[in-house]
A and B are shown apart, each in its own frame.
Chain A
Amino acid sequence: MDEVVRTIDLTRHFGKMVALDNVNITIRRNEIFGLLGPNGSGKSTLIKILSTLLLPTSGDAYVLGYNVKTDYMEIRKRINIVAGDDRPGYGSIKVKENLWFFSQLYGYGVREGWKVVNSLIEEFGMQDYADRKLNRVSSGMFQKYNFVRGILNNPKLLFLDEPTVGLDVEISREIRNYVKSWIKRDPERTILLTTHYMIEAQELCDRVAIIYKGKIVKVDTVENLLKLVSGEHIFEIKTNFILNDCLEDIKKIQGVKGLYSDSDVSTGIAKLRIVMEEEGPIADILSLLKERNIKVLALSKEEPNLEDVFLYLVGSKLR
Protein backbone atom coordinates (compact mmCIF):
# COMPACT_ATOMS: atom_id res chain seq x y z
CA MET A 1 0.00 0.00 0.00
CA ASP A 2 1.44 3.33 -1.07
CA GLU A 3 -1.02 5.42 0.90
CA VAL A 4 -0.26 5.15 4.59
CA VAL A 5 -2.51 7.97 5.74
CA ARG A 6 -5.51 9.51 4.07
CA THR A 7 -7.79 12.07 5.64
CA ILE A 8 -11.05 13.21 4.10
CA ASP A 9 -12.53 16.49 5.30
CA LEU A 10 -11.23 15.70 8.76
CA THR A 11 -12.65 18.09 11.32
CA ARG A 12 -12.36 18.27 15.08
CA HIS A 13 -14.08 20.74 17.37
CA PHE A 14 -13.46 21.28 21.07
CA GLY A 15 -16.59 23.09 22.09
CA LYS A 16 -16.75 26.16 19.87
CA MET A 17 -13.06 25.99 19.01
CA VAL A 18 -12.21 24.43 15.66
CA ALA A 19 -8.94 22.53 16.10
CA LEU A 20 -8.99 20.88 12.66
CA ASP A 21 -10.96 22.25 9.76
CA ASN A 22 -11.63 19.99 6.78
CA VAL A 23 -8.14 18.58 6.59
CA ASN A 24 -7.34 16.55 3.50
CA ILE A 25 -3.89 15.00 3.37
CA THR A 26 -2.29 11.89 2.02
CA ILE A 27 0.95 10.44 3.37
CA ARG A 28 2.88 8.03 1.19
CA ARG A 29 4.80 4.97 2.23
CA ASN A 30 8.41 5.47 3.33
CA GLU A 31 8.28 9.23 3.40
CA ILE A 32 8.91 11.59 6.27
CA PHE A 33 5.91 13.83 6.17
CA GLY A 34 6.17 17.03 8.14
CA LEU A 35 3.44 19.06 9.74
CA LEU A 36 4.77 22.54 10.21
CA GLY A 37 2.81 25.06 12.20
CA PRO A 38 2.88 27.18 15.34
CA ASN A 39 1.59 25.99 18.71
CA GLY A 40 -2.16 25.53 18.64
CA SER A 41 -2.33 25.12 14.87
CA GLY A 42 -3.81 21.61 15.07
CA LYS A 43 -0.69 19.44 14.60
CA SER A 44 -1.10 17.44 17.79
CA THR A 45 -4.84 17.10 17.30
CA LEU A 46 -4.22 15.52 13.92
CA ILE A 47 -1.68 13.10 15.43
CA LYS A 48 -4.09 12.19 18.23
CA ILE A 49 -6.80 11.34 15.73
CA LEU A 50 -4.47 9.32 13.52
CA SER A 51 -3.07 7.47 16.53
CA THR A 52 -6.64 6.58 17.63
CA LEU A 53 -6.56 8.61 20.84
CA LEU A 54 -9.19 11.08 19.69
CA LEU A 55 -12.25 10.82 17.49
CA PRO A 56 -12.93 13.34 14.74
CA THR A 57 -16.06 15.44 14.96
CA SER A 58 -16.66 14.82 11.26
CA GLY A 59 -14.84 13.51 8.24
CA ASP A 60 -12.76 10.35 7.96
CA ALA A 61 -9.21 9.23 8.44
CA TYR A 62 -7.54 6.03 7.30
CA VAL A 63 -4.22 4.75 8.61
CA LEU A 64 -2.64 1.88 6.68
CA GLY A 65 -6.06 1.34 5.12
CA TYR A 66 -7.89 1.10 8.45
CA ASN A 67 -10.55 3.54 9.59
CA VAL A 68 -9.57 5.34 12.80
CA LYS A 69 -13.13 5.21 14.09
CA THR A 70 -13.83 1.53 13.62
CA ASP A 71 -10.57 -0.38 13.07
CA TYR A 72 -8.51 1.28 15.78
CA MET A 73 -7.17 -1.97 17.24
CA GLU A 74 -5.63 -2.87 13.86
CA ILE A 75 -4.04 0.56 13.65
CA ARG A 76 -2.61 0.34 17.18
CA LYS A 77 -0.68 -2.82 16.31
CA ARG A 78 1.17 -0.96 13.59
CA ILE A 79 1.97 2.47 15.00
CA ASN A 80 3.93 4.17 17.75
CA ILE A 81 4.24 7.69 19.11
CA VAL A 82 7.18 9.70 20.38
CA ALA A 83 6.18 13.02 21.89
CA GLY A 84 8.98 15.35 22.88
CA ASP A 85 7.21 16.95 25.79
CA ASP A 86 6.11 13.68 27.43
CA ARG A 87 8.09 11.72 30.04
CA PRO A 88 6.87 8.17 29.47
CA GLY A 89 8.10 5.40 31.73
CA TYR A 90 8.82 5.08 35.42
CA GLY A 91 11.62 7.01 37.08
CA SER A 92 12.29 4.52 39.84
CA ILE A 93 13.25 1.65 37.54
CA LYS A 94 16.15 1.32 35.11
CA VAL A 95 16.15 2.54 31.53
CA LYS A 96 16.36 -1.02 30.21
CA GLU A 97 13.56 -2.19 32.50
CA ASN A 98 11.36 0.58 31.19
CA LEU A 99 12.08 -0.49 27.63
CA TRP A 100 11.32 -4.10 28.52
CA PHE A 101 8.03 -3.00 30.11
CA PHE A 102 6.97 -1.27 26.92
CA SER A 103 8.10 -4.28 24.86
CA GLN A 104 5.52 -6.31 26.77
CA LEU A 105 2.79 -3.85 25.89
CA TYR A 106 3.85 -4.12 22.25
CA GLY A 107 3.29 -7.86 22.24
CA TYR A 108 6.75 -9.36 22.71
CA GLY A 109 7.21 -12.39 24.91
CA VAL A 110 9.03 -12.00 28.24
CA ARG A 111 12.44 -13.25 27.00
CA GLU A 112 11.95 -11.97 23.47
CA GLY A 113 11.36 -8.50 24.94
CA TRP A 114 14.70 -8.57 26.77
CA LYS A 115 16.43 -9.74 23.60
CA VAL A 116 15.02 -6.89 21.50
CA VAL A 117 15.73 -4.33 24.23
CA ASN A 118 19.35 -5.45 24.68
CA SER A 119 19.98 -5.35 20.96
CA LEU A 120 18.52 -1.83 20.64
CA ILE A 121 20.53 -0.63 23.64
CA GLU A 122 23.67 -1.80 21.88
CA GLU A 123 22.64 -0.42 18.51
CA PHE A 124 21.90 3.02 19.93
CA GLY A 125 24.95 3.09 22.18
CA MET A 126 22.94 3.31 25.40
CA GLN A 127 25.03 0.80 27.37
CA ASP A 128 26.45 3.50 29.64
CA TYR A 129 23.10 4.40 31.14
CA ALA A 130 20.88 1.40 30.42
CA ASP A 131 21.29 0.33 34.06
CA ARG A 132 20.62 3.80 35.42
CA LYS A 133 17.23 4.69 36.85
CA LEU A 134 15.15 6.68 34.38
CA ASN A 135 14.91 9.63 36.75
CA ARG A 136 18.70 9.85 36.78
CA VAL A 137 19.31 10.43 33.07
CA SER A 138 19.81 13.71 31.21
CA SER A 139 17.22 15.19 28.84
CA GLY A 140 19.22 14.02 25.84
CA MET A 141 19.54 10.47 27.15
CA PHE A 142 15.84 10.48 27.96
CA GLN A 143 14.86 11.52 24.49
CA LYS A 144 17.09 8.85 22.98
CA TYR A 145 15.44 6.31 25.28
CA ASN A 146 12.04 7.63 24.22
CA PHE A 147 12.94 7.30 20.56
CA VAL A 148 14.10 3.70 21.10
CA ARG A 149 10.84 3.01 22.93
CA GLY A 150 9.01 4.42 19.93
CA ILE A 151 10.63 2.01 17.50
CA LEU A 152 10.51 -1.05 19.79
CA ASN A 153 7.54 -2.54 17.96
CA ASN A 154 9.00 -1.71 14.54
CA PRO A 155 6.00 0.46 13.66
CA LYS A 156 4.85 0.90 10.10
CA LEU A 157 3.92 4.47 10.97
CA LEU A 158 5.81 6.42 13.59
CA PHE A 159 4.41 9.67 14.92
CA LEU A 160 7.10 12.06 16.05
CA ASP A 161 5.44 14.93 17.88
CA GLU A 162 8.03 17.67 18.42
CA PRO A 163 10.74 15.07 19.12
CA THR A 164 13.53 17.56 19.79
CA VAL A 165 11.65 20.16 21.77
CA GLY A 166 13.82 21.60 24.54
CA LEU A 167 16.95 19.68 23.50
CA ASP A 168 20.30 21.27 22.76
CA VAL A 169 21.64 21.50 19.21
CA GLU A 170 23.95 18.49 19.47
CA ILE A 171 21.36 16.07 20.85
CA SER A 172 18.74 17.34 18.39
CA ARG A 173 21.12 16.58 15.55
CA GLU A 174 21.74 13.11 16.95
CA ILE A 175 17.99 12.40 17.15
CA ARG A 176 17.52 13.64 13.59
CA ASN A 177 20.25 11.29 12.42
CA TYR A 178 18.52 8.34 14.12
CA VAL A 179 15.28 9.28 12.44
CA LYS A 180 16.93 9.43 9.02
CA SER A 181 18.74 6.12 9.40
CA TRP A 182 15.71 4.35 10.87
CA ILE A 183 13.43 5.12 7.95
CA LYS A 184 16.07 4.31 5.38
CA ARG A 185 16.48 0.76 6.66
CA ASP A 186 13.00 -0.44 5.76
CA PRO A 187 10.84 0.76 2.86
CA GLU A 188 7.71 -0.16 4.82
CA ARG A 189 8.37 2.52 7.42
CA THR A 190 6.77 5.96 7.35
CA ILE A 191 7.07 8.93 9.68
CA LEU A 192 4.69 11.75 10.45
CA LEU A 193 6.69 14.50 12.09
CA THR A 194 5.27 17.58 13.71
CA THR A 195 7.61 20.39 14.48
CA HIS A 196 7.85 24.11 14.69
CA TYR A 197 11.58 23.98 14.01
CA MET A 198 12.04 24.83 10.36
CA ILE A 199 15.55 23.35 10.31
CA GLU A 200 14.15 20.02 11.42
CA ALA A 201 11.46 20.06 8.76
CA GLN A 202 13.91 21.21 6.12
CA GLU A 203 16.48 18.55 6.99
CA LEU A 204 14.17 15.58 7.49
CA CYS A 205 10.99 15.92 5.53
CA ASP A 206 10.27 14.69 2.04
CA ARG A 207 7.06 16.67 2.02
CA VAL A 208 5.70 19.29 4.37
CA ALA A 209 2.16 20.38 5.14
CA ILE A 210 1.86 23.89 6.47
CA ILE A 211 -0.93 23.99 8.98
CA TYR A 212 -2.41 27.11 10.50
CA LYS A 213 -5.50 27.53 12.65
CA GLY A 214 -6.57 23.97 11.90
CA LYS A 215 -6.38 24.31 8.12
CA ILE A 216 -3.81 22.87 5.75
CA VAL A 217 -2.49 25.89 3.92
CA LYS A 218 -0.12 24.11 1.55
CA VAL A 219 1.42 20.65 1.02
CA ASP A 220 4.52 20.17 -1.07
CA THR A 221 8.14 19.11 -1.07
CA VAL A 222 10.52 21.35 0.85
CA GLU A 223 12.15 22.29 -2.44
CA ASN A 224 8.88 23.37 -4.02
CA LEU A 225 7.83 25.27 -0.93
CA LEU A 226 11.09 27.18 -0.95
CA LYS A 227 10.48 28.04 -4.59
CA LEU A 228 7.39 29.95 -3.47
CA VAL A 229 9.65 32.54 -1.93
CA SER A 230 12.58 32.25 -4.32
CA GLY A 231 11.39 35.33 -6.13
CA GLU A 232 10.88 37.25 -2.91
CA HIS A 233 13.43 39.44 -1.14
CA ILE A 234 14.19 38.60 2.43
CA PHE A 235 15.93 41.02 4.74
CA GLU A 236 17.01 40.76 8.32
CA ILE A 237 17.36 43.94 10.36
CA LYS A 238 18.80 44.16 13.86
CA THR A 239 17.74 47.13 15.95
CA ASN A 240 18.38 48.34 19.50
CA PHE A 241 14.67 47.94 20.32
CA ILE A 242 11.30 47.70 18.61
CA LEU A 243 7.71 48.62 19.44
CA ASN A 244 4.57 46.82 18.34
CA ASP A 245 2.99 49.88 16.71
CA CYS A 246 6.16 50.31 14.64
CA LEU A 247 5.90 46.68 13.45
CA GLU A 248 2.29 47.29 12.46
CA ASP A 249 3.33 50.35 10.45
CA ILE A 250 6.04 48.37 8.65
CA LYS A 251 3.48 45.72 7.69
CA LYS A 252 1.40 48.47 6.08
CA ILE A 253 4.20 49.52 3.73
CA GLN A 254 3.41 48.47 0.17
CA GLY A 255 5.43 45.47 -0.99
CA VAL A 256 5.90 43.98 2.50
CA LYS A 257 4.43 40.47 2.39
CA GLY A 258 5.35 39.26 5.80
CA LEU A 259 7.21 40.25 8.93
CA TYR A 260 8.17 38.75 12.22
CA SER A 261 10.34 39.91 15.05
CA ASP A 262 12.27 38.33 17.89
CA SER A 263 13.80 40.17 20.80
CA ASP A 264 16.73 39.06 22.90
CA VAL A 265 15.70 39.77 26.47
CA SER A 266 19.29 39.91 27.77
CA THR A 267 20.66 42.35 25.17
CA GLY A 268 17.44 44.09 24.18
CA ILE A 269 18.37 43.64 20.52
CA ALA A 270 15.41 43.04 18.22
CA LYS A 271 15.64 41.03 15.01
CA LEU A 272 13.16 41.71 12.21
CA ARG A 273 12.77 39.30 9.30
CA ILE A 274 10.88 40.78 6.40
CA VAL A 275 9.63 39.15 3.20
CA MET A 276 9.13 41.62 0.34
CA GLU A 277 8.06 41.42 -3.29
CA GLU A 278 10.87 43.77 -4.28
CA GLU A 279 13.82 45.47 -2.65
CA GLY A 280 12.36 48.99 -2.91
CA PRO A 281 10.43 49.08 0.39
CA ILE A 282 13.59 48.50 2.43
CA ALA A 283 14.38 52.21 2.09
CA ASP A 284 10.92 53.08 3.42
CA ILE A 285 11.40 50.71 6.32
CA LEU A 286 14.77 52.22 7.25
CA SER A 287 13.28 55.71 7.09
CA LEU A 288 10.42 54.67 9.33
CA LEU A 289 12.82 53.22 11.89
CA LYS A 290 14.88 56.40 11.83
CA GLU A 291 11.77 58.52 12.33
CA ARG A 292 10.96 56.50 15.47
CA ASN A 293 14.52 56.89 16.79
CA ILE A 294 15.18 53.18 16.44
CA LYS A 295 18.81 52.48 15.74
CA VAL A 296 19.63 49.96 12.99
CA LEU A 297 22.53 47.81 14.17
CA ALA A 298 22.76 45.50 11.15
CA LEU A 299 21.05 44.90 7.82
CA SER A 300 21.48 41.80 5.68
CA LYS A 301 19.84 40.06 2.76
CA GLU A 302 18.98 36.43 3.58
CA GLU A 303 18.43 33.14 1.78
CA PRO A 304 14.81 31.97 2.05
CA ASN A 305 13.88 29.17 4.46
CA LEU A 306 10.66 27.45 5.50
CA GLU A 307 10.02 30.12 8.08
CA ASP A 308 9.80 32.62 5.23
CA VAL A 309 7.49 30.29 3.34
CA PHE A 310 5.27 30.21 6.38
CA LEU A 311 5.43 33.96 6.66
CA TYR A 312 4.65 34.32 2.98
CA LEU A 313 1.67 31.95 3.08
CA VAL A 314 0.18 32.86 6.42
CA GLY A 315 1.50 36.34 7.10
CA SER A 316 2.44 35.35 10.64
CA LYS A 317 5.51 33.89 12.25
CA LEU A 318 5.95 30.19 12.89
CA ARG A 319 6.91 30.39 16.55
Chain B
Amino acid sequence: MIREIFKTAYARAYVRIKGVNSDVTHFIIDIGLPLIGLSAILLAYKSLNAPSQFLAIAAIGGAMMAFWYNVLWGMASQFYWERETGNLPLYISSGAPMPGVLLGMALGGAVNMTIRAVGVLLATVYLFGIKLYTSEIVPAFFLFLLTLFALYSLGMIFASSFLRFGRSVSKINELLGEPMLFFSGVYFPVKVFPFAIQLIVSLIPLALGIEGMRELMVFGNSPLQILWIYIVLLLLGIVFFYIATKMIKYMEERGKTTGTLTLKWE
Protein backbone atom coordinates (compact mmCIF):
# COMPACT_ATOMS: atom_id res chain seq x y z
CA MET B 1 0.00 0.00 0.00
CA ILE B 2 2.80 2.42 0.95
CA ARG B 3 4.50 1.64 -2.37
CA GLU B 4 1.25 2.36 -4.23
CA ILE B 5 0.83 5.68 -2.41
CA PHE B 6 4.34 6.81 -3.36
CA LYS B 7 4.00 5.60 -6.94
CA THR B 8 0.72 7.52 -7.33
CA ALA B 9 2.26 10.54 -5.64
CA TYR B 10 5.23 10.44 -8.01
CA ALA B 11 2.98 10.33 -11.07
CA ARG B 12 0.75 13.15 -9.82
CA ALA B 13 3.76 15.27 -8.87
CA TYR B 14 5.33 14.61 -12.29
CA VAL B 15 2.21 15.96 -14.02
CA ARG B 16 2.15 19.03 -11.83
CA ILE B 17 5.83 19.86 -12.15
CA LYS B 18 5.98 19.13 -15.88
CA GLY B 19 2.74 20.99 -16.56
CA VAL B 20 3.59 24.15 -14.69
CA ASN B 21 7.17 24.38 -15.97
CA SER B 22 6.45 23.45 -19.56
CA ASP B 23 5.89 27.09 -20.39
CA VAL B 24 8.79 29.39 -19.54
CA THR B 25 6.49 32.44 -19.49
CA HIS B 26 4.69 30.99 -16.44
CA PHE B 27 8.01 30.80 -14.67
CA ILE B 28 8.83 34.42 -15.45
CA ILE B 29 5.37 35.63 -14.43
CA ASP B 30 5.38 33.57 -11.22
CA ILE B 31 8.63 35.18 -10.10
CA GLY B 32 8.19 38.60 -11.67
CA LEU B 33 4.74 39.51 -10.35
CA PRO B 34 5.35 38.63 -6.67
CA LEU B 35 8.66 40.46 -6.98
CA ILE B 36 6.86 43.64 -8.02
CA GLY B 37 4.49 43.43 -5.04
CA LEU B 38 7.30 42.67 -2.62
CA SER B 39 9.47 45.42 -4.08
CA ALA B 40 6.78 47.97 -3.23
CA ILE B 41 7.01 46.99 0.45
CA LEU B 42 10.80 46.92 0.40
CA LEU B 43 10.96 50.33 -1.26
CA ALA B 44 8.61 51.73 1.37
CA TYR B 45 10.87 50.39 4.14
CA LYS B 46 13.91 51.78 2.35
CA SER B 47 12.40 55.22 1.87
CA LEU B 48 11.62 55.34 5.61
CA ASN B 49 15.25 54.39 6.34
CA ALA B 50 14.05 51.32 8.24
CA PRO B 51 16.77 49.06 9.68
CA SER B 52 18.09 46.54 7.15
CA GLN B 53 16.55 43.73 9.18
CA PHE B 54 13.11 45.03 8.20
CA LEU B 55 13.94 44.43 4.58
CA ALA B 56 15.13 40.88 5.32
CA ILE B 57 11.98 40.19 7.37
CA ALA B 58 9.77 41.28 4.49
CA ALA B 59 11.85 39.47 1.86
CA ILE B 60 11.56 36.11 3.64
CA GLY B 61 7.85 36.63 4.27
CA GLY B 62 7.23 37.73 0.69
CA ALA B 63 9.04 34.73 -0.73
CA MET B 64 7.10 32.33 1.51
CA MET B 65 3.77 33.93 0.64
CA ALA B 66 3.66 32.00 -2.66
CA PHE B 67 3.26 28.74 -0.75
CA TRP B 68 0.07 29.89 0.90
CA TYR B 69 -1.48 30.91 -2.42
CA ASN B 70 -0.41 27.59 -3.88
CA VAL B 71 -2.06 25.72 -1.00
CA LEU B 72 -5.30 27.60 -1.61
CA TRP B 73 -5.45 27.67 -5.40
CA GLY B 74 -3.31 24.67 -6.28
CA MET B 75 -4.43 22.32 -3.54
CA ALA B 76 -7.65 23.33 -1.82
CA SER B 77 -9.74 23.99 -4.92
CA GLN B 78 -7.97 21.45 -7.10
CA PHE B 79 -10.50 18.65 -6.72
CA TYR B 80 -13.25 20.99 -7.82
CA TRP B 81 -11.47 21.45 -11.15
CA GLU B 82 -10.57 17.77 -11.35
CA ARG B 83 -14.24 16.95 -11.01
CA GLU B 84 -15.18 19.42 -13.75
CA THR B 85 -12.78 17.86 -16.25
CA GLY B 86 -13.72 14.30 -15.32
CA ASN B 87 -10.37 13.46 -13.72
CA LEU B 88 -11.73 12.98 -10.23
CA PRO B 89 -14.10 10.10 -11.09
CA LEU B 90 -11.22 8.46 -12.95
CA TYR B 91 -8.89 8.84 -9.98
CA ILE B 92 -11.44 7.24 -7.71
CA SER B 93 -12.56 4.48 -10.06
CA SER B 94 -8.93 3.60 -10.87
CA GLY B 95 -8.52 2.25 -7.36
CA ALA B 96 -5.32 4.29 -6.93
CA PRO B 97 -4.86 5.45 -3.33
CA MET B 98 -6.29 8.93 -2.97
CA PRO B 99 -3.78 9.93 -0.26
CA GLY B 100 -1.17 9.31 -2.98
CA VAL B 101 -2.97 11.72 -5.31
CA LEU B 102 -3.08 14.33 -2.54
CA LEU B 103 0.57 13.76 -1.69
CA GLY B 104 1.54 14.11 -5.34
CA MET B 105 -0.37 17.38 -5.64
CA ALA B 106 1.40 18.61 -2.53
CA LEU B 107 4.87 17.50 -3.63
CA GLY B 108 4.43 18.94 -7.11
CA GLY B 109 3.14 22.22 -5.73
CA ALA B 110 5.92 22.42 -3.14
CA VAL B 111 8.64 21.82 -5.74
CA ASN B 112 7.18 24.39 -8.13
CA MET B 113 6.76 26.98 -5.42
CA THR B 114 10.22 26.36 -3.96
CA ILE B 115 11.81 27.19 -7.31
CA ARG B 116 9.77 30.39 -7.43
CA ALA B 117 10.29 31.34 -3.78
CA VAL B 118 14.04 30.89 -4.11
CA GLY B 119 13.92 32.98 -7.29
CA VAL B 120 12.05 35.80 -5.51
CA LEU B 121 14.35 35.68 -2.48
CA LEU B 122 17.54 35.72 -4.55
CA ALA B 123 16.21 38.57 -6.68
CA THR B 124 15.41 40.69 -3.62
CA VAL B 125 18.78 39.89 -2.03
CA TYR B 126 20.47 41.05 -5.22
CA LEU B 127 18.27 44.08 -5.96
CA PHE B 128 17.97 45.46 -2.42
CA GLY B 129 21.28 44.31 -0.97
CA ILE B 130 19.55 42.31 1.75
CA LYS B 131 21.90 40.56 4.15
CA LEU B 132 21.02 37.11 5.51
CA TYR B 133 22.93 34.89 7.90
CA THR B 134 24.01 31.84 5.94
CA SER B 135 25.77 30.07 8.83
CA GLU B 136 22.49 28.38 9.79
CA ILE B 137 21.48 27.48 6.25
CA VAL B 138 21.20 23.74 6.97
CA PRO B 139 18.86 24.09 9.98
CA ALA B 140 16.96 26.74 8.01
CA PHE B 141 16.51 24.34 5.12
CA PHE B 142 15.31 21.65 7.50
CA LEU B 143 12.88 24.12 9.05
CA PHE B 144 11.71 25.05 5.57
CA LEU B 145 10.99 21.38 4.78
CA LEU B 146 9.05 20.99 8.02
CA THR B 147 7.06 24.12 7.19
CA LEU B 148 6.16 22.69 3.79
CA PHE B 149 5.21 19.36 5.36
CA ALA B 150 2.82 21.05 7.81
CA LEU B 151 1.53 23.59 5.30
CA TYR B 152 0.82 21.13 2.51
CA SER B 153 -0.70 18.65 4.93
CA LEU B 154 -3.09 21.45 5.83
CA GLY B 155 -3.61 21.92 2.08
CA MET B 156 -4.48 18.24 1.79
CA ILE B 157 -7.18 18.70 4.44
CA PHE B 158 -8.53 21.66 2.49
CA ALA B 159 -8.46 19.68 -0.77
CA SER B 160 -10.47 16.86 0.79
CA SER B 161 -12.97 19.01 2.63
CA PHE B 162 -13.43 21.36 -0.32
CA LEU B 163 -14.81 18.40 -2.28
CA ARG B 164 -18.17 19.21 -0.78
CA PHE B 165 -18.19 22.72 -2.20
CA GLY B 166 -19.03 23.76 -5.71
CA ARG B 167 -18.05 26.99 -7.34
CA SER B 168 -18.13 28.69 -3.94
CA VAL B 169 -14.58 27.41 -3.39
CA SER B 170 -13.20 30.56 -4.96
CA LYS B 171 -14.98 32.66 -2.34
CA ILE B 172 -13.71 30.43 0.46
CA ASN B 173 -10.19 30.79 -0.91
CA GLU B 174 -10.56 34.55 -0.93
CA LEU B 175 -11.79 34.40 2.64
CA LEU B 176 -8.77 32.38 3.68
CA GLY B 177 -6.27 34.24 1.52
CA GLU B 178 -5.44 37.69 2.85
CA PRO B 179 -6.46 37.19 6.51
CA MET B 180 -4.14 34.20 6.80
CA LEU B 181 -1.29 36.16 5.24
CA PHE B 182 -1.95 38.97 7.69
CA PHE B 183 -1.89 36.68 10.71
CA SER B 184 1.19 34.91 9.38
CA GLY B 185 3.05 38.21 9.60
CA VAL B 186 4.32 38.07 6.05
CA TYR B 187 5.69 41.62 6.13
CA PHE B 188 6.14 42.07 9.88
CA PRO B 189 7.08 39.97 12.91
CA VAL B 190 4.09 38.29 14.60
CA LYS B 191 5.52 39.47 17.91
CA VAL B 192 3.62 42.72 17.35
CA PHE B 193 0.38 40.83 18.07
CA PRO B 194 -0.97 40.48 21.62
CA PHE B 195 0.14 37.24 23.28
CA ALA B 196 -3.25 35.52 22.92
CA ILE B 197 -3.23 36.09 19.17
CA GLN B 198 0.37 34.94 18.98
CA LEU B 199 -0.72 31.67 20.56
CA ILE B 200 -3.41 31.14 17.93
CA VAL B 201 -1.05 32.22 15.17
CA SER B 202 1.44 29.59 16.29
CA LEU B 203 -0.95 26.98 14.92
CA ILE B 204 -0.52 28.41 11.42
CA PRO B 205 2.37 26.55 9.78
CA LEU B 206 3.21 29.47 7.50
CA ALA B 207 3.49 31.88 10.45
CA LEU B 208 5.72 29.48 12.36
CA GLY B 209 7.89 28.74 9.37
CA ILE B 210 8.40 32.41 8.52
CA GLU B 211 9.14 33.28 12.13
CA GLY B 212 11.65 30.47 12.47
CA MET B 213 13.44 31.33 9.23
CA ARG B 214 13.72 34.95 10.34
CA GLU B 215 15.20 33.92 13.67
CA LEU B 216 17.82 31.84 11.88
CA MET B 217 18.60 33.93 8.83
CA VAL B 218 17.82 37.49 9.87
CA PHE B 219 18.77 37.50 13.55
CA GLY B 220 21.39 34.75 13.38
CA ASN B 221 19.92 32.78 16.29
CA SER B 222 20.76 29.14 16.88
CA PRO B 223 18.25 26.40 15.97
CA LEU B 224 18.20 25.32 19.62
CA GLN B 225 16.61 28.65 20.54
CA ILE B 226 13.68 27.88 18.27
CA LEU B 227 13.51 24.16 18.86
CA TRP B 228 9.87 24.52 19.85
CA ILE B 229 9.05 25.73 16.32
CA TYR B 230 10.57 22.57 14.84
CA ILE B 231 8.57 20.41 17.24
CA VAL B 232 5.28 22.22 16.70
CA LEU B 233 5.68 22.12 12.90
CA LEU B 234 6.45 18.40 12.99
CA LEU B 235 3.44 17.70 15.19
CA LEU B 236 1.17 19.90 13.09
CA GLY B 237 2.35 18.12 9.93
CA ILE B 238 1.70 14.66 11.37
CA VAL B 239 -1.73 15.62 12.73
CA PHE B 240 -2.78 17.43 9.52
CA PHE B 241 -1.56 14.57 7.31
CA TYR B 242 -3.48 12.03 9.38
CA ILE B 243 -6.64 14.13 9.29
CA ALA B 244 -6.27 14.60 5.52
CA THR B 245 -6.09 10.86 4.81
CA LYS B 246 -9.17 10.25 6.96
CA MET B 247 -10.97 13.23 5.45
CA ILE B 248 -10.48 12.13 1.84
CA LYS B 249 -11.87 8.69 2.70
CA TYR B 250 -14.85 10.26 4.43
CA MET B 251 -15.50 12.69 1.59
CA GLU B 252 -15.36 9.88 -0.98
CA GLU B 253 -17.94 7.87 0.96
CA ARG B 254 -20.08 10.94 1.44
CA GLY B 255 -19.78 11.82 -2.25
CA LYS B 256 -20.90 8.33 -3.23
CA THR B 257 -24.02 8.74 -1.11
CA THR B 258 -24.88 12.27 -2.18
CA GLY B 259 -23.75 11.94 -5.78
CA THR B 260 -21.36 14.87 -5.58
CA LEU B 261 -18.28 12.96 -6.80
CA THR B 262 -19.42 13.35 -10.37
CA LEU B 263 -21.68 16.37 -10.11
CA LYS B 264 -20.63 19.17 -12.44
CA TRP B 265 -21.31 22.90 -12.45
CA GLU B 266 -22.35 22.60 -8.84
Question: Residues of A at under 8 Å CB distance from B?
Answer: 14, 48, 51-55, 73, 76-77, 79-81, 83, 85-90, 92-93, 97-98, 100-102, 104-107, 109-110, 133, 153
Contact = CB atoms under 8 A, between A and B. Distances in A.
A105 B262 contact: no
Nearest to B87: A88
A34 B91 CA distance: 25
Interface stretch (B16-24, B213-221, B225-233): B16-24
Interface in B1-34: 4, 7-8, 10-12, 14-15, 18-20, 22-23
B95 interface: yes
B254 to A, nearest CB: 10
Contacts of B19: 90, 92-93
B256 interface: yes
30 contacts: A52-B92, A52-B256, A53-B89, A53-B92, A54-B256, A55-B256, A55-B257, A76-B92, A76-B93, A77-B95, A80-B93, A81-B90, A83-B89, A86-B85, A87-B86, A88-B87, A89-B87, A92-B20, A92-B22, A93-B19, A98-B15, A102-B90, A104-B7, A104-B11, A104-B96, A105-B8, A105-B11, A105-B90, A106-B96, A107-B95
A52 B15 contact: no
A93 B96 CA distance: 21
Given A77-B95, A92-B22, A101 B86 contact: no
A107 B11 CA distance: 11
B151 interface: no
Contact of A104 (B8, B86, B89, B95): B8
Contacts of A79: 93
A270 B90 CA distance: 41
B142 to A, nearest CB: 29
B105 to A, nearest CB: 12
Given A54-B261, A86-B85, A133-B22, A101 B96 contact: no
Interface residue range, chain B: 20 to 34
A100 B15 CA distance: 10
B94 interface: yes
Interface of B: 4, 7-8, 10-12, 14-15, 18-20, 22-23, 85-87, 89-96, 256-257, 259, 261-262
Contacts of A109: 7
A86 B87 CA distance: 8
Nearest to A88: B86
A53 B86 contact: no
Contacts of A100: 11
A74 to B, nearest CB: 9
Nearest to B92: A53
A88 B90 contact: yes
Contact of B93 (A14, A51, A55, A104): A51
A100 B22 CA distance: 17
B102 to A, nearest CB: 13
A101 B92 CA distance: 14
A76 B256 contact: no
Given A14-B259, A76-B95, 17 more contacts: A52-B92, A54-B256, A73-B95, A76-B94, A88-B90, A98-B15, A101-B11, A102-B94, A104-B7, A104-B8, A104-B10, A105-B91, A105-B94, A106-B96, A107-B96, A109-B7, A110-B10
A106 B94 contact: yes
A109 B7 CA distance: 8
Contacts of B20: 92
A114 to B, nearest CB: 12
A223 to B, nearest CB: 33
Contacts of B7: 104, 109-110
Given A53-B256, A87-B85, A101 B93 contact: no
B7 to A, nearest CB: 6
Contacts of B256: 52-55
A105 B96 contact: yes
Q: Which 8 A-B pairs have the closest CB atoms?
A: A86-B86, A76-B95, A104-B11, A92-B19, A105-B96, A105-B94, A88-B86, A55-B256
A100 B11 CA distance: 8
Contact of B15 (A86, A97, A106): A97
A83 B89 CA distance: 10
B15 A93 contact: yes
B20 to A, nearest CB: 7
A101 B14 contact: yes
B163 to A, nearest CB: 13
Contacts of A88: 85-87, 90
